[in-house]
Every structure is written in C-alpha cells, then in structure tokens.
Amino acid sequence: MMYQDLERIVMTKDQIQEVVAKMGKEITEDYKGKELLVVGVLNGGVYITVDLSREIKLPIIMDFVGASSYGDTVVSGDLRMTKTPSIDPKGKDVLIVEDILDSGRTLKKMMEYYQELGANSVKLCVLLDKPDAHKVDVQADYVGANVGNEFIVGYGLDYAQKYRNLADIGVLKREIYE
C-alpha cells in the first residue's frame, strides 16, 4: 500500500524499538532524582516521544509543542509555534524529543527558547541525525542512528503529511516527489 513508494528500508520496526529502548535506558540513568519534562515536537516527534516515554522508568511529565516555519505564533526571535508549551519548564530538566535532526535550525531555536523560559537544563533526543545536513551548530545528546542526506519517511517522518504511520523507516522513491 505505502511500501511500494519506498526505494529501500533503512530501519525496521524492530530496529527502531531496539534503539528507542536503548535511549530510554540511558535517559533513565542520566535523569535519576531529577524533574524530567519530556517535550515532544509535533507532528513527527509524536511516535518516538510516546514510545520513548514508556522506556524511561522515572516519574516524568510530558508536553507537546509545535514548531514550524508557517506557525502563526511568534514566541521568541523568529521561532514560530503552532502549539506553545502547556507546562511551565521553569526549574525543570527538559528533554526535547524529535524524529530527526536535519538543518538543526528549528531545534536549536527551540532549545534556546526553553532555556529562556527558565529550564534548569535542556537536552535533545532524536531518533535520527543527518550530520551532513546541519546548518547551525547543534548537537543531539541522544541519537538513535545517523543517516545520510536522503529523504526518508515513516515512524513520524512525512512527505506532504503522508507516510507518518509506516511502522518502518525507508527512503522515498525519487519519482514520488520529483
């Protein structure tokens, strides 16, 4: 149904589950005794945020924010948001969770914004990182896997809002978007 649009699979459902569990374990160790606020980035980050949260064996609290270049709420600098925070991060240890780190522009601004709101610490967790695509100086603290500069879909990652619900992650055939 959707798999015919993929050139190849880069990460299977089982592999995703494995790296998410591994990151959850690390985060559990690192945040023992802290007040962890997990912030998922809409819409793509929903899948990893939900799965990761169940692998963190701590009494965390969760929020979701929406960032986008066409969001109508300008919160700070030129960061536009389609959904602003519902939970005040003041004094909390914030972990921003997103599907993929690409240019890094949005995520860097998002981290700075949480710092401005008075978070005690701000870290970033991404399922996938495209190290060759970074356009600003940003680094994720927890990375599931690195990928090349290819356009991928699935497990939250979309093309024109589609393919998010694919259980596996794959490279989209060029003919689909060219």
Please choose, out of 36-44, 54-62, 111-119, 169-177, the segment that lies near Mg ion by the rule CB under 5 A.
Answer: 36-44
Please report, as a single letter, which amino acid is at residue 45: G
Please choose, out of 2-10, 19-27, 114-122, 153-161, the segment that lies near ligand IMP by the rule CB under 6 A.
Answer: 153-161
Contact between residue 108 and residue 138 where contact means Cβ atoms under 8 Å apart: yes
Q: Which is nearer to Mg ion, 4 or 69 (CB)?
A: 69
For the bound state, the minimum distance from the C-beta of residue 2 to Mg ion, rounded and expressed in Å, comes to: 18
- Distance between CA atoms of 99 and 118, rounded to whole angstroms? 25
Phi-psi region of 69 (alpha: psi -120 to 50; beta: other; left: phi over 0): alpha
**What mask of x and - would describe binding to ligand IMP in positions 44 to 63, judged by CB under 6 A?**
x-------------------
Is 44 among the residues that bind Mg ion (CB under 5 A)?
A: yes
For the bound state, the minimum distance from the C-beta of residue 154 to ligand IMP, rounded and expressed in Å, comes to: 9
- Distance between CA atoms of 156 and 167, rounded to whole angstroms? 9
Q: Which is nearer to ligand IMP, 57 or 162 (CB)?
A: 162
CA-wise closest residue to 79 among 88, 70, 87:
70
- Distance between CA atoms of 150 and 170, rounded to whole angstroms? 10
Using CB under 6 A as the binding criterion, the count of chain residues that bind ligand IMP stands at 16
For the bound state, the minimum distance from the C-beta of residue 139 to ligand IMP, rounded and expressed in Å, comes to: 12
